[in-house]
């Protein structure tokens, strides 16, 4: 990613003006003169406005040491021109080039406290931030930043919640109920629109929201009562995008104001379409067979990703990743943010997922704009970037320029999307002018499984163009897509990143028609919340020549496809059903009957390893990689993942193979089942395909001796329904070590395992033990009834079980004869009524073994 900033600096030192002098004003004018910001100082108090749009309104900041909203005296003003040129990995426009005029106003306040006000203005709007220049710690207790909106100005507002998933409302600035509203907020003031937003928020500060007192004045309220940081402190930008709706929707101002990319090489960041099963079938992420079916579907249609949401299990994910990658599909995994909220978890979990071959993460439920949560973003972002793991933040804050600074963030939720199972056309037509302006929006579109909707099929398909997201999670069952072949054909062609974006027509709450370009193809798509009629889109943006226009729209009996030849300056007229939509692909006309490009799956290959399994610390492995038919494939490389001399072929044709032999060793200190992968990598149609097969080597740990507590033994494997298995503590919550003393019906047990159904723990006995005993039951820490069953297995054979135990039941003594057992597995299931509150204790879990 490239970034260039050029600046011309002009410094004007002004004498101190007395605090009681009234009427001082300065302007900062955009390079093209389209926007003029006005800064005022009256009786020592600052104001900010934009000529012709936003009247002057009070601004300022308070710290624990000084009130910098009053008693201010100007010391000097400096000015410069800032040019920002940079490239994004996703978004409405990949290549960005903007010029801003900047002025810095330096003030002193009571007691000599210092404040800089930095104002930037571009053709798209204006922004300001506060800079507290001093060194040392500083605590901000609040801002007096505000925007004065005419009371009768139409407004599109989002009642504030920390996950930004409330329903948008259309009102007026003055009639909006008193309370908090989330960014961005849109107002129409006369014939001009103003969208208020934030940019450049990180752990030095907290996120803000707009607070309306009921009079049309909107002030900035911070998520925390106070924020503390080391100086000098630069606050986030307070942003106003102003202009017509085309200016607002096309604006990149929140990105332009954000820090430059912190990642030099972004070649590994890969946007794309994602098949996602959770919305249409919540239980499917726990089913590896079903997930492989989604992989097969994605492979057939060349969708690059499958997202496995909540419910996945470490016991089968690595092999599912291998299965997917061999078919040209990468796996994304869901995680609750608390699984990554400590340095220890990040240092353990992230490398493990990377070693499995996972391409990216959906991290969920942050649900806070507080400074502590932004400090967590500051930690997770470089940690994931270092491992080349892409990210989608769900249950998250709204975009504030993060995708520029950390371009591996491909999308954020912060929207009441299709997963709420209630879709309304009127709301859908608000998002292009508000939430989606500021960054990628993970709405999860095109969902016929959402039956509570008033949108047409063409409206649903059009969302995948109208809504911008670097990962476009197409959220229905793949069988539903296959029963809509015309829709699926279009979805297979639609890009997710764009070289250009233009609003052609629309109005929030009524309609939106956008044109987006990817390479030499344009896509025009529209959604409506109006009665049946038609829409007309001017094609003046097209280059000269003839263009094939293929339109997918609602017909009398389902989706229909129509084609025509058009030229620059023609008008594209499309009939619309009530609450309907359309998608038109435009490509240079060459005589072909369609704009579609071939969708060719990755060729089927075979990788075998011999032996597939072994025991010990070293193993001699022979691997053969075969292309049975088709091809050719090029730049073929076969080698162990951990290193070794590769065997290579410049080209393999159908029926040809590549074979290599290596002596592999398990990592020092490893115990249990260790996978030693062999990897074949090749190039096909410009893409790199990764095929992997692992030799599973078992390294036995020392067998237990004498009387041994299970919680003191190393785990060969573990899975748990919520968080990790806990040793000598109850399950607690999501994080490791957050449990309580193991307690069953009031009795505390110092030793044992705390689990959450469904769970399994396997330990090595090595045929050295004769008996296992434990007290089992639902831990007292749960506040609602849970139900579980406990099972003991030896080398996969059932040895003992409890039947269903409930929260009120006494502790159940469980014993098993483990004579001759090499692997002991302790399993917990959910009792048949779901896993909620199923905190299952293996209290006093003990083994009697030979020796001492």
Half-sphere exposure of 394 (CA within 13 A, CB side): 20
Contact 741, 781 (CB under 8 A): no
Report strand pairing: 726-727 vs 687-699: unpaired
Three-class DSSP category at 297: helix
The closest alpha carbon to 362, from 414, 409, 296, 304, belongs to: 409
Start-end of H helices in 313-405: 317-325, 343-356, 371-386, 402-405
Could you tell me the sign of the dihedral formed by the alpha carbons of 13, 15, 19, 24, in that order? negative
- Residue 611 token pair: 């032996």
Residue 254 belongs to what H/E stretch?
helix 253-256
CA distance 435 to 158: 9
Contact 366, 393 (CB under 8 A): yes
Q: Which of 604-607's residues contact partners 24+ apart within 8 Å by CB, and which partners?
A: 604/628, 604/629, 604/630, 605/326, 605/633, 605/680, 605/682, 605/691, 607/326, 607/678, 607/680, 607/691, 607/692, 607/693
Helices 317-325, 343-356: crossing angle, 10 deg rounding: 50
Q: At a CB cut-off of 8 Å and minimum separation 6, what does 389 contact?
A: 350, 353, 354, 358, 359, 360, 361, 408
CA distance 708 to 742: 18
Q: Which of the residues 67, 102, 413, 419 is marked catalytic? A: 419
Q: At a CB cut-off of 8 Å and minimum separation 6, what does 352 contact?
A: none
How far is residue 393 from each of residues 336, 403, 471, 546, measured CA to CA in Å?
A: 10, 11, 11, 42
- Which phi and psi (to 5°) does residue 610 adopt? -135, 115
- Is 442 a catalytic site residue? no
CA distance 781 to 749: 13
Q: Which of the residues 364, 550, 780, 781 is marked catalytic? A: 364
CA distance 95 to 93: 6
- Residue 822 token pair: 């090499």
Residue 301 belongs to what H/E stretch?
helix 288-301
The closest alpha carbon to 409, from 437, 439, 433, 431, belongs to: 439
How far is residue 803 from each of residues 15, 130, 579, 782, 811, measured CA to CA in Å?
A: 85, 64, 54, 20, 13
Chain-centroid distance, C-alpha 461: 22
- Which phi and psi (to 5°) does residue 64 adopt? -65, -20
- Is 364 a catalytic site residue? yes
CA distance 390 to 118: 33
> What length does the chain have?
852
CA distance 490 to 504: 21
CA distance 719 to 762: 9
Unique residue bearing structure tokens 């063409």: 458
- Residue 821 token pair: 């057992």
Q: At a CB cut-off of 8 Å and minimum separation 6, what does 355 contact?
A: none
The closest alpha carbon to 678, from 742, 757, 611, belongs to: 611
Unique residue bearing structure tokens 């006995």: 765
**Helices (H), strands (E): how many in the chain?**
11, 56
Residues identified as active-site: 364, 419
């Amino acid at each position: 990613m490239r970034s260039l900033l050029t600046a011309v600096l002009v410094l004007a030192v002004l004498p101190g003006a007395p605090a009681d002098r009234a009427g001082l004003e300065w302007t900062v004018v955009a390079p093209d003169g389209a926007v003029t910001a006005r800064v005022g100082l009256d009786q020592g108090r600052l104001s900010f406005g934009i000529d012709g749009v936003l009247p002057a309104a009070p601004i300022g900041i308070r710290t624990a040491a000084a009130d910098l909203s009053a008693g201010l005296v100007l010391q000097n003003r400096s000015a410069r021109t800032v040019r920002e040129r940079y490239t994004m990995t996703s978004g409405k426009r990949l290549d960005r080039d903007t010029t801003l005029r900047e002025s810095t106003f330096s003030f002193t306040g009571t007691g000599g406290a210092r404040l800089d006000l930095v104002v930037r203005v571009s053709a798209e709007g204006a922004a300001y931030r506060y800079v507290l220049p001093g060194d040392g710690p500083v605590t901000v207790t609040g801002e007096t930043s505000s925007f004065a909106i005419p009371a009768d100005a139409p407004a599109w507002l989002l009642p504030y919640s920390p996950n930004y998933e409330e329903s948008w409302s259309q009102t007026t600035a003055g009639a909006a109920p008193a309370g908090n509203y989330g960014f961005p907020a849109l107002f129409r003031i006369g014939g001009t629109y103003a969208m208020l937003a934030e940019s450049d928020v990180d752990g030095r500060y907290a996120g803000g929201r707009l607070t309306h007192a009921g009079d049309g004045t909107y002030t900035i309220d911070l998520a925390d009562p106070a924020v503390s940081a080391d100086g000098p402190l630069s606050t986030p930008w307070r942003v106003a995008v102003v202009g017509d709706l085309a200016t607002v929707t096309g604006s990149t101002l929140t990105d332009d104001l954000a820090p430059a990319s912190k990642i030099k090489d972004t070649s590994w960041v890969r946007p794309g379409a994602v098949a996602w099963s959770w919305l249409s079938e919540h239980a499917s992420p726990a089913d590896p067979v079903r997930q492989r079916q989604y992989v097969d579907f994605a492979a057939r249609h060349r969708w690059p990703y499958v997202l496995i949401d909540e419910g996945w299990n470490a016991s089968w994910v690595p092999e599912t990743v291998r299965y997917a990658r061999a078919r040209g599909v990468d796996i994304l995994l869901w995680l609750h943010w608390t699984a990554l909220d400590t340095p220890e978890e990040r240092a353990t979990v992230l490398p493990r997922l990377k070693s499995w071959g996972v391409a990216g993460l959906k991290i969920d439920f942050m649900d806070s704009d507080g400074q502590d949560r932004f400090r967590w973003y500051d930690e997770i972002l470089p940690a994931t970037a270092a491992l080349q793991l892409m990210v989608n933040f769900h249950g998250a804050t709204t975009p504030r320029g993060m995708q520029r600074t950390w371009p591996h963030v491909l999308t954020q939720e912060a929207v009441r999307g299709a997963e709420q199972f209630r879709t309304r056309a009127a709301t859908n037509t608000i998002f292009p002018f508000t939430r989606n302006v500021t960054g990628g929006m993970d709405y999860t579109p095109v969902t016929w499984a959402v039956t509570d909707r008033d949108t047409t099929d063409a409206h649903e398909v059009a969302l995948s163009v109208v809504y911008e997201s670097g990962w476009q999670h197409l959220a229905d069952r793949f069988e539903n897509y296959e029963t809509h072949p015309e829709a699926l054909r279009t979805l297979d062609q639609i890009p997710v990143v764009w070289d250009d974006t233009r609003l052609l027509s629309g109005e929030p709450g009524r309609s939106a028609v956008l044109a987006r370009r990817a390479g030499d193809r344009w896509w025009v798509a529209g959604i409506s919340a109006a009665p049946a009629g038609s829409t007309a889109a001017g094609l003046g943006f097209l280059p000269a020549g003839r263009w094939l226009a293929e339109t997918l729209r609602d017909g009398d009996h389902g989706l229909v496809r129509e084609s025509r030849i058009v030229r620059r300056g023609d008008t594209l007229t499309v009939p619309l059903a009530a609450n309907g939509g359309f998608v038109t692909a435009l490509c240079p006309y060459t005589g072909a009957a369609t704009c579609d490009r071939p969708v060719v799956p990755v060729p089927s290959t075979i990788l075998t390893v011999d032996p597939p399994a072994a025991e010990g610390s070293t193993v001699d492995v022979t691997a053969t990689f075969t292309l049975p038919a088709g091809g050719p494939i090029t730049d073929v490389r076969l080698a162990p993942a951990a290193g070794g001399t590769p065997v290579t072929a410049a080209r393999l044709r159908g029926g040809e193979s590549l074979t290599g032999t290596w002596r592999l060793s398990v990592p020092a200190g490893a115990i249990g089942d260790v996978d030693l992968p062999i990897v074949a990598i090749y190039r096909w149609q410009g893409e790199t395909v990764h095929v992997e097969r692992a030799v599973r080597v078992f390294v036995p740990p020392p067998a237990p001796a004498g009387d041994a507590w299970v919680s003191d033994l190393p785990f060969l494997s573990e899975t748990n329904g919520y968080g990790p298995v806990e040793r000598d503590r109850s399950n607690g919550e999501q994080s490791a070590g957050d449990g309580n003393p193991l307690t069953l019906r009031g009795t505390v047990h110092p030793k044992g395992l705390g689990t959450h159904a469904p769970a399994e723990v396997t330990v090595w006995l090595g045929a050295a033990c004769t008996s296992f005993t434990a007290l089992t039951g639902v831990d007292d820490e749960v506040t609602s009834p849970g139900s579980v069953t406990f099972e003991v297995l030896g080398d996969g054979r059932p040895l003992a079980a409890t039947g269903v135990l409930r929260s009120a039941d006494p502790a159940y003594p469980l014993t098993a004869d483990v004579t001759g057992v090499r692997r002991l597995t302790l399993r917990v299931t959910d009792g048949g009524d779901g896993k909620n509150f199923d905190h299952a204790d293996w209290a006093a879990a003990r083994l009697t073994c030979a020796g001492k």
